[in-house]
Amino acid sequence: MRKIVVAVFSLTLLVAAAGMALASEGEKKNVTNKSCPVSGGPVSEKYRTEYKGQYVYLCCEGCVKEFEKNPETYVAKMSKEDREAIEPNKICPVSKEPIDTKIFVETEGRKLYFCCEHCRDSFKKEHPDAK
């Protein structure tokens, strides 16, 4: 009887651990690029630098420093999807007019640019998480 209880308990722990692993894989990260341009591994929301007006995420502080030494080299190695993700918007999402690079918010881990303060403020009212 004791072996059965231990086996059931062990099985329960394994199922719970697998469920937690799947749940964490499905969590949406607030980042632009998904892969570290230096190491190729998954990025962390904690480590980022700015490149041509948009955030680039990396996996660790060492990769941030390495990226900053020669960003063009590492951007060239990024996947097409990640290169597109680090492109800043050129058109205001509210008015569809050209942007002013001095007027932006940070939302979902990226900079979002606007043409004017009115559009930025309108966006912030509808997106309270925008900073």
DSSP assignment of 3-36:
HHHHHHHHHHHHHHHHHHHHHHHHSPP--S-SB-
The pTM for the full model equals: 0.75
- pLDDT of res. 9: 43
- pLDDT of res. 29: 81
**CB atoms closer than 10 angstroms to residue 98:** 10
Write down the domain spans for the chain: 88-131
Residue 55 forms beta bridges with which residues? 50
Query: Which 8-state DSSP code applies to residue 1?
Result: -
- pLDDT of res. 130: 84
- pLDDT of res. 1: 58
Q: Which residue has the tokens 């606007």?
A: 114
**CB atoms closer than 10 angstroms to residue 22:** 9
Residue 47 and residue 10: Cα distance in Å, rounded?
37
**pLDDT means over runs of 10, the chain (131 residues):** 49 41 56 96 96 96 97 96 96 97 95 97 92 90
Enumerate residues 6+ apart whose C-beta is below 8 A from 98. 90, 91, 92, 115
